[in-house]
């Protein structure tokens, strides 16, 4: 986590755009507030996979009663710098939101870190792809409903994977993270662009008292994907969470939202899993 403080400014310190917020009369259809219950037991299994000659580890978290006749969403979860899959799973058990409705995979970074810099043949992007392929071969996974979420550097990684691997992820949720940076191409507005990059639904969640990866980074993440996705970047609307806003005019299935959470510091909001899963389900 401390290591992220040494990263460059990542292009997130931009002039703030004036955004009009429309208060909805009824419930948000994209991010309503839904109370979640555990909804079934899960089992956690350590797994490993060879990726280009390197043994990589991850935790598979799945419902004990997995209906093989149905296809299930897959949620990839990335820890922050200095963490690991086991520790982050204990601290943030995402299955409390998904219950028996999804399979989860908590991935381990090499030396507790993620490669956010390599723009071609990135080892961690390849790792993510390999995990998705491996699980899909053994479990009834819906390849059209693969999601990713992460914390701190793991939030950055979710953004990098969404940028560098078009079509792999349906949606991402970034906690205390940031948008892709230093990529190989640029969008017309000067923002980093990956070859063949496509819109990806994105929810950026960030603490207002985060002084490690500042709030501007989370705000820019939402602004970045709103532009990429073709949303109206000057209009937002309220949601079921007072902390969260959604950009208006996004294409169907490519929603973009930003949650500014007081008085949260550099950590994951206690409602992040619930809000993220609701957002994922509606994409």
Question: pLDDT, tens digit, for every residue of 179-236?
Answer: 999 999 999 999 999 999 999 999 999 999 999 999 999 999 999 999 999 999 999 9
The b/e string for 99-110 (b: 16+ C-beta within 10 A; e otherwise) is bbbbbbbbbbbe
Residue 4 gets which letter from DSSP? G
Q: How far apart are CA 189 and CA 208, in angstroms?
A: 27
What's the order of all strands across the beta sheet hosting 20-22?
Answer: 20-22, 232-238, 244-248, 256-261, 201-207, 171-175, 141-151, 72-78, 103-107, 54-63, 42-51
Q: How far apart are CA 6 and CA 266, in angstroms?
A: 15
Residue 62 has pLDDT above 60, yes or no: yes
**In this structure, what token pair is assigned to residue 80?**
């922050």
Are 237 and 261 in contact by the 8 Å Cβ rule? The answer is no
Q: Is the dihedral of CA 150, 151, 155, 161 positive or negative?
A: negative
Q: How far apart are CA 181 and CA 176, in angstroms?
A: 15
* The pLDDT value given to residue 40: 77
Question: pLDDT, tens digit, for every residue of 262-283?
Answer: 999 999 999 999 999 999 999 9
Q: What range defines the domain where residue 41 resides?
A: 2-281
How many domains, in total, are found in the chain? 1
Are 60 and 47 in contact by the 8 Å Cβ rule? The answer is yes
Mean pLDDT for 13-17 is 57
* The pLDDT value given to residue 15: 56
CATH of the domain at 10: 3.40.50.1820
Confidence of residue 16 (pLDDT cuts 50, 70, 90): low
Angle between helices 153-164 and 123-138 (to 10 degrees): 80
**pTM (2 decimals)?**
0.94
Percentage with pLDDT > 70 across the chain: 93
């Amino acid at each position: 986590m401390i290591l992220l403080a040494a990263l460059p400014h990542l292009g997130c310190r931009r002039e703030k755009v004036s955004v009009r917020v429309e208060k909805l009369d009824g419930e948000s259809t994209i991010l309503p507030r839904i109370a979640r219950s555990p909804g079934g037991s899960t089992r956690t299994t350590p797994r490993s996979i060879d990726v280009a000659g390197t043994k990589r580890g991850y935790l598979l978290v799945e419902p004990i009663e997995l209906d093989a006749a149905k296809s299930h969403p897959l949620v990839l979860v990335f820890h922050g710098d200095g963490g690991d899959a086991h520790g982050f799973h204990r601290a943030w058990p995402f299955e409390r939101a998904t219950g028996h409705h999804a399979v989860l995979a908590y991935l381990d970074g090499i030396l507790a870190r993620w490669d956010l810099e390599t723009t071609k043949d990135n080892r961690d992007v390849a790792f993510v792809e390999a995990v998705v392929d491996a699980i899909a071969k053994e479990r009834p996974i819906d390849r059209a409903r693969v999601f990713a979420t992460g914390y701190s550097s793991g939030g950055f990684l979710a953004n990098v994977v969404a940028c560098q691997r078009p079509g792999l992820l349906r949606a991402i949720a970034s906690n205390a993270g940031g948008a892709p940076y230093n990529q190989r191409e640029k969008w017309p507005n000067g923002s980093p662009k990956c070859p063949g990059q496509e819109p990806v639904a994105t929810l950026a969640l960030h603490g207002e008292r985060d002084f490690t990866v500042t709030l501007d980074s989370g705000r820019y993440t939402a602004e970045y994907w709103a532009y990429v996705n073709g949303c109206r970047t000057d209009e937002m609307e309220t949601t079921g969470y007072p902390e969260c806003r959604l950009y208006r005019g996004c294409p169907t299935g490519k929603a973009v939202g930003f949650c500014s959470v007081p008085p949260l510091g550099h950590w994951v909001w206690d409602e992040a899993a619930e809000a993220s899963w609701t957002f994922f389900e509606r994409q």
